[in-house]
Structure 1
Amino acid sequence: MNTHAVRFTDASLTDGQNAVWSGAMSTPMRLDVIRRLDGAGLTAIEVSSPALFTQCLARGENPWQFIEAAREQCPQTVFRTTINLMTGHGKHGTDILSTDVATHWLKEFAAHGVQQVIVMDPLIAIARLAPVLQAARRLELSAIAALPFVEDAIYSDAWYGEQARALVMAGAARVMLRDESGLLTPDRVATLIPALKAALGDTPLDLHTRCHTALGPMVVLEALRLGVDGIDTALPSLANGASLPSITNLVRALSLIDIATNGLDMSVVRSANAVADDIAEREGFPRAECWVFDLAPYAHQLPGELAADLMRSLPDTGRNRHLNAFAVECDRIRRDMGTPPMVEPFATPIAEQAHLHVAGMPRYAQLRPGIRRLVQGIYGSLPGVVNAELQCRVGTFEVCKPATMEALRENTPGATDLARLTAHVSGFNIKNLPHPLPPAQLRYQTLSPFETLARGLLERLPHYASLRVKGPDMEIVYQQLEG
């Protein structure tokens, strides 16, 4: 029997809803779910991520208000967040977060009741990571360093072991093998996990994987058998496909192979999942689906939400037959870019460029802005060799110094530091960000089918002179009146 205690962290409200519901989960919806998850015995719940901040601001919500309200309702639950030191916004001084800005960002999370932080630098640049990891520890945040997984010959088990040791030396309290593209297999785990465990010594190792190839649950079970300490999971309604493995399925499977899951209250988990199910039913959100095994993800290596968007768009655009061509083109472009890991801010521009080529544009006739920045080297040294012809074409770029808090204050007089940070990290112009940050309606409205229909019609009414719906014992008529 495996004797170490398995740590389960729920990422339904961040990566799960990103992959399954395309990021449509509002603040009231998340609050309805998290209040039911409190008391489930989870090690932590992930309450924030860079993508979630952007989604909230785009909806006119205050992303901090959710964390504050969740903390009030779940006083004993450990909260986790993710920060990425590369933003990819493409604006002067904002592609990379300075240590100063990242430290202030961490201070805000600590002040809002977050206890764990995953710090990610996709290129694992220790000079950037070390001061931020150390700042997190000074703020008494549990500092988890992300180790992005890439399926490529240059990323060997020995290479990963070296990177893991470097992250611990840089100040990581834990290291997370982060497989956002769901590429791990049981065979690879069988050699990689022991190599990482040997490199880390007493430092705990966590695993974040997805289910693109349907192998995610099997990978998790093998990883736990080999001594991985922590696993990211999602509620069944927000699991599988491009999302994380379902916690209920994992717990059931672990009981069959005699691995203990001490402290989990699955009745609480089922209650939270029922709420998520109800939200999906009322809002018309898609149901979570398992994907069948396919080799295409090993070529395109798209992370969660990008892979989900791709699979949703294929039937609509009639491009099913182009999937393999698109996957191969993603791989070709990534190699031309110096073989970066397929995570943000690299994955989106590579996918956009591949779509252009597959649609018929001559290769690199136009360059997506993110591709241009990659070739120019503004993110730093890449693992592979950048295409010499492209590099000659776009030239090199003198890396802008990341903006400091002092520079942000000079450029945004009158704004609060919290508003400055939120806009800067999320890629919003501070002038377009409501000040103070907008309040959110914190209670999710559970509407009847009639009310849901009426609301939908009202949203469409401006586009029509009149709308009329008739059914059994019901008739709704909306008429635009002149003047």
Structure 2
Amino acid sequence: MAIALEEMGYDTGLDLEVLKEIADHFRPIKEDFRSKGLLNPKVMDVEPNTLLYQVPGGMLSNLLSQLKEAHQEDKYEAVLKEIPAVRKDMGYPPLVTPLSQMVGTQAVMNVVSGERYKMVPKEIKDYVKGSYGKSPAPLSEEIKQKIIGDEEPCTVRPADLIEPGMKAFKKETEAYADTTEDVLTYALFPNLAEPFLRKKKDPFYDVPIQNVTIILP
């Protein structure tokens, strides 16, 4: 890639000798992963059908992993063909995280179960209900009925249904959060943020208190 860009007149600023050292370092690791079955050779192939099937490259490894767990690797091509159909049913959402995983998982379920939408994950149900917002194109009533039945769809901005949480987060972190950024860090990653912020405020907060006996002369 670096050489191709340089031949087109772009200065990448990359040292090819260093890139070679990096490649040499990871080559035996790649071979080890391949020999142990941790790296599927299919994900290393050039797949021209990604344009036809509308599958981002990063989705392929996830699809192969899901099919391998279900012992259905022979259904790979069928799943690839099912993805554009599911995307059409879902109103053509952009295949970016998390929607790419959701569409891919639904395609796998449709193929493996032998019946379209016989099994539907919660995330797809929430999407069809409108909990992820409005789809780019309308969903057919047939698809809605099959996936959510008579459940009421969300017709308002989904975030408006979430109770404000900032006040509660501030109260929970008042002993060690000094800034709004600290509180937001805790809100996103509570298990990791609390010990980090406590140690930031007091480097010795988790050091056990030592009982020291002083003997005076």
Q: TM-score range by the shorter chain?
A: 0.5 to 0.7
Structure 1 segments unaligned to the other structure (5+ residues): 1-249, 439-483
Report sequence identity in percent.
Answer: 23
Aligned amino acid, residue 261 of structure 1: D
Equivalent in 374, 383, 386 of residue 139 of structure 2: 386
Secondary structure of 2:113's counterpart equals coil
Q: CA deviation at 1:347?
A: 1.4
Pick closer, same or farther for the CA change 1:381–1:309 going to 2, 3 Å.
closer
Q: 1:424 to 1:375 in 2, by over 3 A?
A: farther
CA offsets, 1:399-437, max 9 Å, x none?
Answer: 232869x73342463333556434655xx5x3x446223
Distance 2:186 2:25 in 1: 32
Runs of 4+ more than 6 Å apart? 281-285
The match for 1:371 among 121, 124, 135 is 124
The answer to which structure, 1 or 2, has the higher relative contact order (CA under 8 A, 6+ apart) is: 1
Q: CA deviation at 1:330?
A: 1.9
- How many residues align? The count is 182
What is the root-mean-square deviation in Å for CA atoms of aligned residues? Answer: 3.7
- For the pair shown, the structure with the greater C-alpha radius of gyration is 2
Q: Distance in 1 between matches of 2:153 and 2:77?
A: 33
Shift of residue 320 of structure 1? 3.8
> What's the counterpart of residue 261 of structure 1?
11
Task: Give the direction of change, closer, same or farther, for the CA distance of 1:279–1:370 in structure 2 (3 Å limit).
Answer: same
Question: Paired residue for 1:303, among 56, 59, 62?
Answer: 56
Preserved contact between residue 67 and residue 73 of structure 2 (Cα < 8 Å): yes
Give the Cα–Cα distance (whole angstroms) in 1 for the partners of residues 84 and 172 of structure 2. 46
CA displacement at 1:357 relative to structure 2: 1.6
Tell me how far 1:251 sits from its aligned partner. Answer: 2.6
- Equivalent runs, 1:141-220 vs 2, <5 Å: none
- Structure 1 match to 2:152: 395
Q: Residue 357 of structure 1 is aligned with which of 110, 131, 134?
A: 110
Q: Are 2:184 and 1:421 equivalent residues in the alignment? A: yes
Between stretches 361-370 and 334-343, larger displacement belongs to 361-370
What is the SS of the residue equivalent to 2:160?
coil
Distance 1:313 1:302 in 2: 15
Q: TM-score, normalised by structure 1?
A: 0.32
Is the alpha carbon distance of 1:270 and 1:292 closer, same or farther for their aligned partners in structure 2, counting shifts above 3 Å?
closer
Deviations 1:441-477 (A, max 9, x none): xxxxxxxxxxxxxxxxxxxxxxxxxxxxxxxxxxxxx
- Residues 226-249 of structure 1, C-alpha deviations (whole Å, 9 max, x = no match): xxxxxxxxxxxxxxxxxxxxxxxx
The superposition leaves residues 274-328 of structure 1 with CA deviations (integer Å, 9 ceiling, x where unpaired) of 5555766898874997413342x34543334331122355567553431222122
Change (3 A) 1:353 1:251: closer
Show the 5 A alignment for 1:421-440: 421-422=184-185, 424-425=187-188, 430=190, 432-433=191-192, 435-437=194-196
Structure-2 change in CA distance of 1:319 and 1:300 (3 Å): farther
Asked whether the equivalents of residues 349 and 369 of structure 1 are also in contact (C-alpha less than 8 Å), the reply is no
Higher helix share: 2
In structure 2, do the counterparts of structure 1 residues 424 and 271 end up closer, same or farther at CA, with 3 Å as the change threshold?
farther
Higher share in strand: 1
Q: How far off is 1:369 after superposition?
A: 1.5
SS, match of residue 184 in structure 2: helix
Question: Shift in Å at residue 351 of structure 1?
Answer: 1.7
- Give 5+ residue unaligned stretches, structure 2: 198-217
**In structure 2, C-alpha distance between the alignment counterparts of 1:286 and 1:273, rounded to whole Å:** 16
AA matched with 1:352? T
Indicate if the aligned counterparts of 2:102 and 2:123 stay in contact, CA closer than 8 A.
yes
Change in CA separation of 1:310 and 1:254 when aligned onto 2, cut-off 3 Å: same
CA deviation vs aligned residue, 1:79-127 (integer Å, no higher than 9, x gap): xxxxxxxxxxxxxxxxxxxxxxxxxxxxxxxxxxxxxxxxxxxxxxxxx
From 92, 96, 110, the counterpart of 1:339: 92
TM-score, with normalisation over the residues of structure 2? 0.63
Gap change, CA 1:317 and 1:292, over 3 Å in 2: farther
Residues 358 and 262 (structure 1 numbering): CA distance in 2 closer, same or farther, change over 3 Å?
Answer: closer
Query: Residue 419 of structure 1 contacts residue 435 of structure 1 at CA under 8 Å; is this kept in 2?
Result: no
- Retained in 2: the 8 A contact 1:299–1:327? no
Q: Closer, same or farther in 2 for the Cα pair 1:251/1:262, shift >3 Å?
A: closer
Letter in 1 for 2:19: V
